Amino acid sequence: MLALIVAIPLIAAIALFRIPSESKEWIRNIALGSSGLVFLLAMGIFLGFDSSNSAMQFVHECDWVSVLNIQFKLGVDGVSVLMVLLTAILSCASIFYYLNEKNVSTNFLALMLVLEAGILGVFMALDTVLFYVFWEVMLIPAYFLIGLWGEGDRIYATTKFVIFTLVGSLLMLVAIIGVTVVHYEATHILTFDIQTLIHTDIPKDKQIWMFLCFFLAFAIKIPVFPFHSWLPHAYGACPIPVLVLLTGAMSKTGAYGLIRFCLPLFPEAAEMMGFVIAGMAATGMVYGAWIALAQKDIKSLVAYSSISHLGFIVLGIFALNDQGLDGSVLQMFNHGIIAAALFFIVDIIQKKLGTRDLTEMRGLKGKMPILYGIFMLVTMAGLGLPGLNGFVGEFLILAGVWTSASMAGLGAIYVLMGCLTITFAAIYMLFFFQGAMQETNEKLPADLGDIDKKQIYMLLPACFLIVFIGLFPKPFVDKISPSIKQILSVEKTVKTSKGSDSGAHH
């Protein structure tokens, strides 16, 4: 089933590349049908996932490059099953939204499906080489989607995005080879299997440089402060359907990589440098929120708010305890839903008014009451109102940071920085909402109407998830927790000559 989830969008993309642009009905059916089918499969896997089992489930395995023992191996645990579902939801919503455009490009849709396949592959790959291949696959469609269909200074934005990502990717490749070599020296068995490699007790000096190589690749993708400078340019130039996938799903591949690779492979390095990285994340939280306060362009406002919220996720990861990591994984899902809804709302407002300048808006409440209600709910979730999904993840993260033993006594300071970030979030989110919706504005077009049925159908699932997860987070946390416990307690059974004195457990 997992192989199908990756294969379906790739096959559909190939079909779209070959279909003439005049066949609009076929284009729509293939694009929407394939993304919808992937969503149904992802939902089936999520519902069929055994919450009591911390092992990988629905594993698909076959030989790929036999001479190097590289396998095409896919699987999901409690962390990745949630990310697969998130990617499927956002991909389906993005394609549905784009199909309402006047000029639909077949190539655009095909590249969107390739991007979806790459992101899904990253979340499911259980072989380090396969993971790297999917990691690079994500970059190719993103490059063309921003470079060809973007706005503003899209060439500069695309170039900066690609250079940053490629540097991190090459360092990660070096570390992937390094981990395999260390395991081979200890066992004389060549393998790239992640589940096998995490049991290798890597010497501390090698852990540090390997950890840093992996971390840099993932930190750029998230992005973690100060590796964030590509994000405002890329997000500003990015078409909204692509941006929803970039911020909602692709940015989570970096956080997922930290959990899947950095913590279980390099536990000593993660513990040693965790409080420093947590400091970078906490700084990014406050910085992103502070810069968001000054934005007049509503697209830039939401982009900088993403830097802030993604910093929250990284902070929870390096709390290195159950609560912090549970909260981070849940917040990865929550942020994807909230940010996607906000970017869709930004685009709807821009198309209605012809501007993204907040100072030129006002009084949309009277003309767009349905959008007003949806926008209010998403705003409340974005600022962390109790009872909505944004609050649950942030609360668990702050609780994990407060009780963390790896923060070198700085946990209380990081919690205070988190509270300051939430305060800033309340200000800029209300500034955004009230600035667009409240007061009166006699300059609004007389024929300005509310959102249509298709836009309502697209935003309603986000509203449902915002409320449902806020009130009933247990089904999601129950799926996450066993896998997190497993990641934090990997037994190092493969000893190396220099690493034999290391502890057996993390």
| pTM of the complete model beyond 0.95 | no
d(CA 73, CA 1): 12
Residue ranges of E strands in 147-267? 200-201
Residue 263 falls inside a structural domain: no
Strands 494-495 vs 200-201: parallel, antiparallel or unpaired: parallel
Q: What b/e string do you get for 23-49 counting C-beta neighbours within 10 Å, with b at 16 or more?
A: eeeebeebbbebbbbbbebbeebbeeb
d(CA 480, CA 36): 25
Q: Would you state the structure tokens that stand for residue 362, as one six-digit string?
A: 């006002």
Distance of CA 382 to the CA centre of its chain: 16
Asked if 5 and 38 touch (Cβ cutoff 8 Å), the reply is: yes
Q: Report pLDDT for 441.
A: 67
Intervals of the chain under pLDDT 50: 499-506
Instruction: Scan for tokens 């993403």, then name that residue.
Output: 306
Residue 369 falls inside a structural domain: yes
Strand partners, 70: 65
Residue 404 falls inside a structural domain: yes
Q: Report pLDDT for 231.
A: 81
Q: In a 10 Å sphere around its CB, with 0-12 CB exposed, 13-18 middle and 19+ buried, how is residue 204 labelled?
A: middle
Residue 315 falls inside a structural domain: yes
Q: In a 10 Å sphere around its CB, with 0-12 CB exposed, 13-18 middle and 19+ buried, how is residue 380 labelled?
A: buried
Q: Report pLDDT for 147.
A: 87
d(CA 262, CA 214): 7
A 10 A CB-CB count for 212 gives 17
Asked if 57 and 195 touch (Cβ cutoff 8 Å), the reply is: no
Residue 363 falls inside a structural domain: yes
Provide the residue range defining the domain that includes 351. Answer: 272-471
Phi, psi of 82 (to 5 degrees): -70, -35
Residue 417 falls inside a structural domain: yes
- In this predicted model, what pLDDT tens digit does every residue of 245-303 receive, in sequence order? 998 899 899 999 999 999 999 989 988 888 889 999 999 999 988 998 888 888 888 88
Residue 283 falls inside a structural domain: yes
- In this predicted model, what pLDDT tens digit does every residue of 182-201 receive, in sequence order? 999 888 889 999 999 998 88
The domain tally of the chain equals: 1
d(CA 239, CA 391): 29
Q: Report pLDDT for 152.
A: 78
Residue 390 falls inside a structural domain: yes
Q: Would you state the structure tokens that stand for residue 491, as one six-digit string?
A: 């037994």
d(CA 43, CA 23): 30
